[in-house]
Structure 1
Amino acid sequence: MNPKIDVGQTFPDYVLPDHTKTPRRLSALQSEADPMVVVLIRGFFCPKDREQLRELTRFHSQLVVGSCTPVVITTDDWHTTNNLRQQLGASYTFLYDEEHHVRDDLDICEYTDTQHYPMIPHTFLLGSGLEIRKVWNGYYYWGRPSTAELHAELRQLTRDIRRDWDLSDPELKKRWNAGDKSDFYPYGMKWMEQTLKEMAGAVDQYAGKA
């Protein structure tokens, strides 16, 4: 595996077109200190990918209220990417990479598939600033994370990055009462308006065009 995608490294800040053909920068989709789940898939033709994404789509409402952004990157073309997204009933962002830049940059070509030469499927849990916190290699289906595993990892990650995780901390209460909201989410580190735009999936309003 390419050492640039080891835990602790910064995931490359790719710019790729989304399902509306609009270029998006990955870090803009993440939005500040929120976790992100990035799923690299073979493409529409793979039943394992479709099954994983069906589960992710069912899980999406929990990701929304938990302030975690899911992004799928595929090597399909624009038309096929939209077919997959629509068949899943997904409302989160799909990026497509027909030129295989991500596959080649990360050195994850699935050389055993001599028809498609897709990416080896991977799922990444990213912390603040695209920091890689967990990596799952999904060449075999059971290498991919279940939604229960994602839930557990997101609990730990959120506990690590949110200082206001435990409101019983007397120091936090003292800061709040003094008017210092910098440690509180979304009252200091991010405004409620930004949060609501993200929850609504209004990518054009909070991420913009890369």
Structure 2
Amino acid sequence: MKKKLKPGDKFPDFSLPDQNGRSVNLSDFTRQGEADKRYGFKDGYPLIVIFYRGFFCPRDQQQFRSLLAFQKELNVNFCKMVAISADEPIVSSAFKAGLGAGWPFLCDTDRKLIRELDILDETEGEYAYRALPYTFVLKPDLEVFKIYNGWYFVGRPTIEELRIDLRSIMQEMDYYSYEAFNSPHVKKIRIPQQTWTEGYSERAEPTEKGIVDSFNIRTGNGYIKAPQFDELIFFNFTAIPGEGYRTIKAGEKVKFELVKTHTGLSATNILRIPD
């Protein structure tokens, strides 16, 4: 390719090792979640890709320190951020840990991607043969939305600029509006509170039985394993009767009602079975 990208171009879906040496694809970070698939949404989430010179660069250190507070906002907004340098995984791992960063640090040690994007620093000094400090904001399909050239530090994006970029992208996604969740299909899986507070006592006793295979306390989603079904049965925490945020543990025996929709099987009215 060897050309400078511009907004509207597709960013390459490359594969690089992360700070632990595990190979990952860029598209792994933009895919929709399992719950989104169940709700019938098609769109994924935007991604911020930051190229930096290396752990030794004081400007990179300052940029990442300013992003530490932003990572919590990204988590609750379901958006991702990755940082890429020519450092080895062991160096990237130490840098990441020292910062207290939660986002992945990817390692382009042979400079293949950096050269492909034509962002290799060819000046003298300690920055030679390192990535120029570019930040790319990508749409879920990896289309480039915004590019920031951080050769001078003032060119690097502020948190507010990144927030505006993400908002602009997400406003065009199929999951963004309240109405998208306030639909009959989604409410079969993401159960409204009033279902459990209005006439629940008249509801029939669940007939299906199984064991909780997993439950992710961060996302509020899990799966039930039932011998009578070939596939794991998805559920959202709202399928557990009650109020507020409800949790359940893997290995607990449950009975439940089965919901069949065009996006697969889900469970509702999940009740624990006492030992």
TM-score by length of 1: 0.78
Partner residue in 2 for 1:109: 120
- Hey, what's the Cα distance between the residues in 2 that align with 1:23 and 1:163? 29
Partner residue in 2 for 1:165: 177
SS at match of 1:176: coil
Aligned pairs for 1:115-154 within 5 A: 115=126, 116-154=128-166
How many residues are treated as equivalent by the alignment? Answer: 182
Kindly indicate which of the two structures has a greater share of residues assigned to strand. 2
Aligned pairs for 1:56-205 within 5 A: 56-115=67-126, 116-167=128-179, 176-177=183-184, 179=185, 181=186, 196=219
SS at match of 1:112: coil
Assess if the C-alpha contact under 8 Å between 2:46 and 2:140 holds in 1: yes
Aligned pairs for 1:4-43 within 5 A: 5-32=5-32, 33-43=44-54
Assess if the C-alpha contact under 8 Å between 2:52 and 2:132 holds in 1: yes
CA-to-aligned-CA distance 1:109-140 (integer Å, 9 cap, x gap): 11123443211111011112111111101111
- Hey, what's the Cα distance between the residues in 2 that align with 1:14 and 1:6? 18
Which residue identity is paired with 1:53?
A: F
Looking at CA atoms only, which structure, 1 or 2, has the larger radius of gyration? 2
- Hey, what's the Cα distance between the residues in 2 that align with 1:113 and 1:6? 27
* Long gaps (5+) in structure 1: 198-210
CA-to-aligned-CA distance 1:24-58 (integer Å, 9 cap, x gap): 11111222311100101111111111111111222
Assess if the C-alpha contact under 8 Å between 2:7 and 2:147 holds in 1: yes
Which residue identity is paired with 1:176?
A: S
Which residue identity is paired with 2:78?
A: S
Kindly indicate which of the two structures has a greater share of residues assigned to helix. 1
Assess if the C-alpha contact under 8 Å between 2:20 and 2:90 holds in 1: no
Structural RMSD (CA): 2.5
Partner residue in 1 for 2:57: 46
SS at match of 2:147: strand
TM-score by length of 2: 0.60
* 4+ runs deviating over 4 angstroms: none
* Long gaps (5+) in structure 2: 33-43, 191-214, 221-275
